[in-house]
């Protein structure tokens, strides 16, 4: 069986790697073509071009790179058409993935699967109807999404989120991390300014100022910054200008598992986290680390998205648990003063988010079959239908 699989950013790479592992377990003779990052490459993919070229978010942010992205869209579609795989699986990154799927369907009848349902419950509700013209099957991360897809004519399976199957650090590993980093028993704030260059550029300064204010309220606070590989150099440079000292965890030079183990230990050792909006909020929930979420984007992107928004929060823990216990500061509210105040409130009542985090993990499939394997099974069953 030949699979063409495409991911455009680190969160999609994790989904793709888990799915590939599941497909190899259920169908050992599977081969892969496509685009992906380190995780998918570790599962056997030779990426057609570097995945980081696709890691762009926001309407205004995409515009300067539109011509290059458009060329990559056509190049990828042409490769699918030429290889004629048994199935093409696109993962998230809808501005890229769905355009590729549309071009493929215009030229051939390759089965198309899109992993991660579009957030029609959050904004742009008409996307489901549009994508139904060229997507055969959707794999959904959240249990409330399948009815939104099937009513537009697409098959859809809830497969859960891979974060629930990822290993978590033990107390002993967290204690060892604290000892190795010289943290002692000090309160520890974890800081995650994003995995894209644009996110780090927009968030690093305001995060640094917020941490300066927050540290003044909590003397002895230690700060740890796990950097994504793609932006490790940028994060390291940005942190140098912060008004507080910080330990940067740089995964470069480490093997994937060692870097992941260090990051897990940091999550478990932390007392609180400040993170950019995105999948990382689910990783923090899985580690049961209380958090504050903040995000800035180009003013035009924020204005347009805000006008189309159907929900009042972008934080996945809030949405999945149907609560609003995780503070999020977006757009004009992403200021040092507000972020510092949010961090202070959470650290003073660190148990307030526990129930919402437990419920989130439960609803995403914690304790059940690994989502990557569930996704692989759904792909294979869909091909036989």
pLDDT tens string 216-227: 999 999 999 999
Number of helical H runs and strand E runs in the chain: 17, 12
Residue 63 has what pLDDT? 56
| Residue 313 pLDDT greater than 90, yes or no | no
**Averaged over 249-260, what is the pLDDT?**
92
| Calpha distance 17→40 (Å, rounded) | 4
Whole-prediction pTM: 0.77
**Averaged over 65-70, what is the pLDDT?**
79
Residue with tokens 């769905």: 98
Residue 312 has what pLDDT? 72
Q: What is the mean pLDDT of the chain?
A: 91
Helices (H), the chain: 10-26, 38-42, 59-62, 66-83, 94-107, 127-131, 146-150, 171-180, 197-217, 232-239, 256-269, 280-286, 299-308, 316-321, 336-348, 354-363, 371-384
The predicted-structure confidence for 326-346, as pLDDT tens digits, reads as follows 999 998 999 999 999 999 999
Q: What is the DSSP letter of 369?
A: S
Backbone angles phi, psi at 156, to 5 degrees: -150, 130
The residue that leads in pLDDT, 131 or 55, is 131
pLDDT tier at 59 (50, 70, 90 boundaries)? very low
**Averaged over 274-303, what is the pLDDT?**
86
Backbone angles phi, psi at 33, to 5 degrees: -130, 160
| Residue 239 pLDDT greater than 60, yes or no | yes
């Amino acid at each position: 069986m030949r699979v063409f699989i495409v991911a455009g950013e680190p969160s999609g790479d994790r989904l793709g790697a888990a799915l590939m592992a599941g497909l190899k377990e259920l169908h050992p003779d599977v081969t892969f073509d496509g685009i992906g990052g380190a995780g998918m490459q570790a599962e056997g993919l030779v990426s057609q071009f570097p995945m980081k070229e696709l890691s762009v978010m926001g309407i205004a942010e995409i515009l300067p790179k539109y011509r290059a992205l458009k060329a990559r869209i056509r190049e990828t579609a042409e490769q699918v058409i030429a290889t004629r795989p048994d199935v093409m699986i696109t993962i998230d990154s809808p501005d890229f993935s769905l355009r590729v799927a549309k071009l493929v369907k215009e030229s051939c009848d390759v089965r198309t699967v899109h992993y991660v349902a579009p957030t029609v419950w959050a904004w742009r509700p008409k996307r489901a109807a549009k994508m139904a013209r060229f997507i055969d099957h959707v794999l959904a991360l959240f249990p409330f999404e399948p009815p939104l897809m099937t009513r537009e004519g697409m098959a859809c399976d809830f497969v859960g989120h891979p974060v629930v199957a990822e290993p978590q650090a033990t107390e002993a590993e967290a204690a060892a991390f604290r000892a190795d980093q010289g943290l002692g028993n000090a309160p520890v704030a974890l800081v995650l300014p994003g995995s894209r260059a644009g996110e780090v550029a927009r968030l690093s300064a305001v995060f640094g100022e917020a941490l300066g204010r927050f540290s003044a309220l909590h003397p002895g606070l230690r700060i740890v910054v796990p950097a994504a590989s793609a932006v490790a150099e940028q994060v390291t440079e940005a942190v140098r200008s912060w008004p507080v000292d910080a330990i940067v965890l740089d995964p470069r030079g480490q093997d994937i598992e060692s870097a992941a183990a260090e990051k897990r230990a940091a999550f478990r050792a932390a007392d609180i986290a400040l993170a950019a909006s995105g999948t990382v909020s689910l990783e923090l929930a899985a580690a049961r680390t209380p958090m504050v979420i903040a995000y800035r984007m180009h003013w035009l992107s924020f204005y347009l998205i805000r006008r189309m928004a159907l929900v009042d929060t972008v934080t996945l823990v809030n949405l999945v648990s149907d609560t609003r216990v995780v503070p999020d500061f977006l757009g004009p509210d992403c200021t040092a003063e507000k972020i510092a105040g949010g961090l202070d409130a959470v650290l003073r009542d660190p148990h307030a988010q526990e129930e919402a985090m437990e419920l989130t993990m439960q609803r995403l499939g914690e304790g059940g079959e690994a989502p990557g394997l569930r996704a692989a099974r759904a792909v294979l069953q869909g091909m036989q239908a």
